[in-house]
Structure 1
Amino acid sequence: MTYTIAVTDFDFPDLSIESAALEEMDAELVTVDAESPSDIVDAVPEANALLVQYATISETVFDELEDLRAVGRYGIGVDNVDLDAATNHGVWVVNVPSYCEEEVSTHSLSLMLNCLRNVSGYDRAIKDGRWDWTEGKPINRISGKTIGFAGFGKIPQHLMTLLGGFDLDYVAYDPYLSRTELTDQGVDKVDFGELLSTSDVLSVHVPLTDETKRMFDADAFSQMQDHAIIVNTARGAVIDTNDLHTALQRREIAGAGLDVMPVEPPEDTSLIEHENVVCTPHVAWYSEESMAEMRRTVTQDVAGIIRENAPKNPVNDLE
């Protein structure tokens, strides 16, 4: 039997890694270039598995694709997949939970240092013909600052290791970790209000859920210190970007380093054009090595499911 594995959408140069991962399997790799769930249903009604980057995999997909056994998400987040519908239809959803800790933590550090040292601001000034050290004032020493983590999983833990050369204090808000678990790693457990009020730099590492959507809104920014910066390499919708823009305009906080936005690319560019915002295009996950690992891992996992092997990185529970 020839199985059909459909790639709903991708922005990689080609699918050579996926093809290589399927060499020993009788499978046809089909590309869809889907803009909607109906595109997927119309293009590959016989699909046994889907590999998904940004496409929305709604209940309609699970209703219509009767032979579907697995959905593999390129990356960690699965907020574009209807997990309840997948589970109800007996379809495994898998992701790649561990492939870019080094890249995201390094990128978070880069955004932090850029904001703290105003690197981008100096660069813009020089390109505009101004060679003046006062352009970036005020800049203070990094040592002695408090770094706050919203969520303390593998990525912020790795980031803390990278920060080890600085003389810093660490606090974390993570309701799913005990005080002892955090203390053992040199981090003080705080509630959300304390996280906001004590952090000189606040680094966001929470998944996008109903609980965390717009977690950082006008009320949150009003509780932060006026010299604080916020860095987000998690999910864009965790921050209310309109409220963030207002907070920056009112100087309630000093700056932001953003790799993610609620809508990508953003339709309203007023926030990313702000002089105290450093923005990158959802690239924190990326290195040549991490991209190859991500693609190979998810392809092998969905192929295994089709061959009735247990998934290695399940997101939902079909047991």
Structure 2
Amino acid sequence: MTDVAIDRVERGVDRRMLTNVAYRLLGSMSDAEDVAQETYLRWYRLSETERDAIRTPAAWRVRVATRVCLDILASARHRRERYVGEWLPEPVPGQHFDTPGSSTDPADLIVSDDLVAMAMLVVMDSMTPAERVTFVLREVFRFPFSEIGAIVGRSEAACRQLAVSARRRLEPTRQCTRDDKRHDDTTVALTKALQRGDVETLVALLDPTVTVTNDGGGRVSAALRPIVGADRVIRYLIGVRRREADVDISVANVNGEAGLRMRRNGVTIAVASLEVRDGLITQLWVVRSPDKLTRWNSRAVEATGRLS
């Protein structure tokens, strides 16, 4: 591949589109970027005659990227067995998904959907690889079930059923993540309560069955199991705040919606996403693994809150 060709690939909308769909399938931006790179390597390994014979190159590359993702998803289950503590998707600063509202570019339409929200990614991670791929290809790309079946090795009827099953799993989460104003207000209130160590406000914000899930990846200190119940969660949050009094807590755009960013001496040490139902926080996902926070500490990233 020539330098000119590489430059065109790196800056192309098509590559961005592949990265975005792979992130929805894998929950890891670093893996998604590797998938896009591998897809283009396979494209350029084809002869010029072979490339010319492909009627829709973008669709061909999506199919190849999806197959690469399927291989990664199949091996991920074995890797998770060795993972220390709970595994959560990699949180991404909001501007990686922000796009002009009036755009009709296919890639912009892809990044505008709700499948990048942490709550959605967590639910999607519980799906089988075939179910997840079927749902994303159908939901985002509107691929016909016949083509999806060829990719996942299932019949058209089986893929239809996989899509239905996936929608049923995601519907409760979709219903509670669309009230952006309430989500934003709750996030701001939680941030202020943690800044002050305000137990009374925390009690008012948390659902009685609230759960906190930490992902330290074995790299930093983090609870290895989910913390369940408002009383236990409040004790945990207040305890962490006392131990980490020097940490700055602010609202940030996490995967396209309001979340929390924790920094010590300007370095992001944790990013949290939350699920809000009926004005109460039901889930808190806290990513502490440094391997999943590299983009938050990049000089090019300043993920400020949407509610400034």
| TM tier, smaller | under 0.3
Larger Rg: 1
Structure holding more helix per residue:
2
